[in-house]
Structure formats: structure tokens, C-alpha cells
Amino acid sequence: MPQEEQIVVAFQGERGAYSEQAVRRHFGSSVTALACHSFVDIFEAIHQGQARHGMLPVENSLAGAVVPAYDQLMDHDLRIQAEVILKVEHCLMAAPGTPLESVVRAISHPQALAQCERTLRRLGVEPVSHYDTAGAARDLAAEQRPNTAAVASALAAESYGLEILVRNLEDLPFNYTRFFVLGLSDPPRKDPSKTSIVFTTGHEPGALHAVLGELAQQDLNMTKIESRPRRNRPWHYLFYVDFEGHVDDPGVQTALMGILKRASLLKVLGSYPAAPLPVRSPND
């Protein structure tokens, strides 16, 4: 029997990053996760055949949009094949045998440290900025710094042989990151679906209202809108919009035709299965 092809999924960051955790959540533990230096490298890995898919973070429920990711969606012709919503659970980790009482400083990405600020203060631990969460875990494991811990994912602790001292270190438990799964082709339809588009409008009163009105006329629920400056036209903007529905639906097709007539540019990024929205628990 022919050997089954190994699925390779590119992500940005070091081994053990939250993006790798999203890869394994969506594709399973047997997938090959390809670490990339930048978001651009994710797209290049797919275009060059080094990976079949990419895992791209696009927004966090606390920090907002991942701006560089949106820029790359416009610059490349890849299709959104799915969305993944990952609960971010920060862990305080150190070399095996390190007592929590001995930890005086923790290294991590500034955003992760900010999300754990109150808890770290209560523990008497000084936050120290590092370029990356998983990178902090990797460097700590390699350098064996005394009285030092890292803030990263449980996968990072597992990847670098560190011991988790405190789980759920984050101050606000309702902390989620949304990812797009990218590929070269459109996925099979699976409802409920979402569609993502990017468009520009004329620089005139009511232009954006008119475009969004095309969605409203077809009773399509918009779930997100994000604006980004056009890099080749100062003070003009790209608008990224997600809405419920599939590009094959008659109402969606009618709305897109209406938007095409009103917008100066329209790009459909993909129709894909919608991930279930996280539900706030009584303890959140």
C-alpha cells in the first residue's frame, strides 16, 4: 500500500508557540509543524511546496487584530480554509526541581507578561521582556538561569523539558486567539460557514455605508470589520470584513455583485467552516 503523505503545516514562531498548539489542535498530534521566522515565511512555505497549510493568527480577544497578518492576506493569493479559536493559557515554567518560592523574575513576550501582570505581582515575580513566549522557554532551558522562570504555553514546557510551576497564570481567563488555516485551494463546504473579503471604496461620503448595505440587504450578519491603510495610497484604506454565509449561497453572490459595483477593489479571501464561539464559564 502507498504510504500516506505527511501533512506539513507552517506557523510563525519557535517550537512550542501558541501557533503550533493551534496546529496540533486542528490537525492532530501526528502533523508535522514547520516553524517559520515571519508571517511572510508561512506564505512562502506554502507557495514553494514546503508546507500544505499555514496557521496564521489574525486576532486576540484582548489585544485585538494581528496587523501584519492582515497585510499578508492582501499581498498573497492563498485561501482561508478554516478558522481555529484557541484558548490562551499561560504557564509559569522553570528548570525541573526549581521551587516556586525561589523564582524572582519571569521572561516572556511583553504581551504575555502584560496579560499576567497582576498574578506575577502577587507572586512577587518581576516581568522581563523577551522577543517570544516559546523563545523564552527555549532560551531558559538552554541557559539554566537561576531564580528565573518563563511564561509560555504548556506545549513549550513539554518541548524544552521545563517544569510547570503555575498553570492559568493569565489575569483574565477569557483570552482567545483566532487563527486562519491557509491553503492553495478552497475547502469542501461545511455549514455553518463564514466568508472573508477585503475591499476598498471611493473617497466620498457614504461609500463604506453603501458597500456594507449590500450585506444588510441580503440579511447577512457581519461578524468583523478591520481597516488597514493602503500602502500605495496615503489616507485610503482597505477594509477586511467577515460575515456569515458561503460564497455559493445566492444571497452572498448577490451581495458580492453589489459590492463589486460599489467598491474600487474586491478580493474574496475564502469561504470556510465557522468555528464555534467560546462560551464564558461561570468562573471566567
Q: pTM to 2 decimals?
A: 0.91
pLDDT band at 202 (very low <50, low <70, confident <90, very high): confident
C-alpha cell at 211: 458597500
**Are 256 and 186 in contact, with CB atoms under 8 Å apart?**
no
Range of weakest confidence among 167-181, 183-197, 270-284:
270-284
**What mean pLDDT do residues 163-173 have?**
95
Give catalytic status of residue 177 as yes or no.
yes
pLDDT band at 1 (very low <50, low <70, confident <90, very high): very low
d(CA 244, CA 99): 49
Per residue in 224-265, pLDDT (tens digit) is: 999 999 887 788 899 999 999 999 999 999 999 999 999 999
Q: Give 173's DSSP letter.
A: S
Give catalytic status of residue 179 as yes or no.
yes
**What mean pLDDT do residues 5-27 have?**
95
Q: Supply the angle between the helices 250-262 and 207-217 in degrees, to the nearest 10.
A: 170
Per residue in 66-112, pLDDT (tens digit) is: 989 999 999 999 999 999 999 999 999 999 999 999 999 999 999 99
Out of 133, 177, 200, 201, which one is annotated catalytic? Answer: 177
d(CA 122, CA 201): 50
Could you tell me the domains of the chain? 8-88+175-183 (3.40.190.10), 91-166 (3.40.190.10), 193-273 (3.30.70.260)
pLDDT of residue 234: 85
Out of 11, 27, 39, 179, which one is annotated catalytic? Answer: 179
Q: How many CB atoms lie within 10 A of CB 42?
A: 27
pLDDT band at 4 (very low <50, low <70, confident <90, very high): low
